[in-house]
Amino acid sequence: MTMRYADGQEVRVGDHVGLGADDGGVVVCSIEDGAYSNEHTAEQWSYLKTGFMVEFPTYGLIHYEVAEDDLRLIARASR
């Protein structure tokens, strides 16, 4: 199952996202899609089975099983 933001857009590793006052978040893995960044590997996180993870400068690493309504896409990852 492809992970999606609340607005229906697909979550992609490398997307820049915002939450609250922190606009510096980066999607570091999409577990269900089997997509992981070099710094956050399947070996580390695949045990979670579902969702995606975002690393924020302010909040740190957050695991989402479903995207919160206030998590917003700021810029798409380059392909």
Span 43-72, pLDDT tens digits = 999 999 999 999 999 999 999 999 999 999
Q: What is the pLDDT of residue 78?
A: 78
Average pLDDT, the chain: 94
User: What would the 3-class secondary structure string for the chain be?
Assistant: CCCECCCCCECCCCCEEEECCEEEEEEEEECCCCEECCCCCHHHHHHHCCCEEEEECCCEEEEECCCCCCCEEEECCCC
Please report, for the chain, the start and end positions of each structural domain, with discontinuous segments joined by +. 16-75
Q: What is the pLDDT of residue 79?
A: 66
